[in-house]
Structure 1
């Protein structure tokens, strides 16, 4: 459902795609930096931004935005949640949350692909599939830092409720924007 990207000439589409990738990376960064009190742990809006972009832009542009975000982080820009306090660059990416970052890249592509042409529920399910990829890679990587007995308590249980709320918000936001766009035409 790439409803945010109208048809353009090839050079215009290239520039528009570059702008969308940079803007998407900025949105993901802002989401990673935003902290909202939540139970049992404070949450960021990172997941909301990533999956909103994936479902709204489609797989190619969303992957470009996520790859731009990860490239900025790899180059040492403090785009990640907790950066620069918890490190920057490749050192941060190789840390305990590195698997989640890789999962976001793959989950973005999967979500963007599955969400194309879907309604509210279909988009939510596409985002849920992408989130499953994020958690699978994240927990697999986190297992190299923690014993298996504490893995779910550290890397899944505190975050899943907030992530499900963010997926519902992202899916609803896309539906609302699509409705506004349809009324404007």
Structure 2
């Protein structure tokens, strides 16, 4: 698997940072990323065996498109907004919500954006195989934190049965979508 480690992310190709406007550009990107996380939390797609939101897809793609710093900052801004009580999460807000059953998954979104962002900064995601690797690792980060926290609340067996197994078909679909969309975006940019 050949990795193109040019040090640029997709956002750098789409919207290059200029020295005189870098701070404003980065603030705008983080705000848009945070808004995308909020929107993705509110939209439920009917699916079997459970409806899915697009939060994991957006968290993975924020890291993959923006890189480590901006991807993680976008998800951190989203989490901070929810922690102070803004209604950005799928089913609640505030610190108590973050401490509830979904809190580990929410922190997992930050870990996923960080993991995929680090890999994107190193050139992953431009080909299907490296995109698959980055998105699988990002998903592992989400479920490791999510299941770890949920297991402390309800036990390991119940956490796996209720917090992993029903979500696997939807996650497979989202990883496939991410794995297809990112390399295609890179390919389209290389043609310009």
TM-score normalised by the chain length of structure 1: 0.91
Deviation, 1:69, is 0.5
Equivalent pair of 1:52/1:171 in contact (CA under 8 Å): no
In the other structure, the counterpart of 1:48 is: 57
In the other structure, the counterpart of 1:148 is: 156
Equivalent pair of 2:34/2:77 in contact (CA under 8 Å): yes
Aligned counterpart for 2:96 among listed residues 84, 91, 94: 91
* Residue ranges of structure 2 left out of the alignment (5+ in a row): 1-7
| CA distance in 2 between partners of 1:167 and 1:28 (Å) | 16
Equivalent pair of 2:131/2:183 in contact (CA under 8 Å): no
In the other structure, the counterpart of 2:5 is: none
How do 1:74-89 residues align onto structure 2 when only pairs under 5 Å count? 74-83=83-92, 88-89=93-94
Deviation, 1:18, is 0.6
Do structure 1's residue 60 and structure 2's residue 69 form an aligned pair?
Answer: yes
In the other structure, the counterpart of 1:179 is: 187
Do structure 1's residue 110 and structure 2's residue 115 form an aligned pair?
Answer: yes
Equivalent pair of 2:41/2:55 in contact (CA under 8 Å): yes
Structure 1 vs Structure 2 CA RMSD: 1.4
The alignment covers a number of residue pairs equal to 180
In the other structure, the counterpart of 2:4 is: none
Equivalent pair of 1:102/1:134 in contact (CA under 8 Å): yes
* Residue ranges of structure 1 left out of the alignment (5+ in a row): none
| CA distance in 1 between partners of 2:74 and 2:142 (Å) | 16
Do structure 1's residue 2 and structure 2's residue 9 form an aligned pair?
Answer: yes
What does the per-residue CA deviation read over 1:77-118, in whole Å, with 9 as the maximum and x for residues that have no partner? 1111123xxxx1111101011111112112211111123312
Deviation, 1:131, is 1.0
In the other structure, the counterpart of 1:168 is: 176
What does the per-residue CA deviation read over 1:40-99, in whole Å, with 9 as the maximum and x for residues that have no partner? 00000111111111111111110011011101111111111123xxxx111110101111
SS at structure 2 position matched to 1:76: coil
SS at structure 2 position matched to 1:102: helix
TM-score normalised by the chain length of structure 2: 0.88
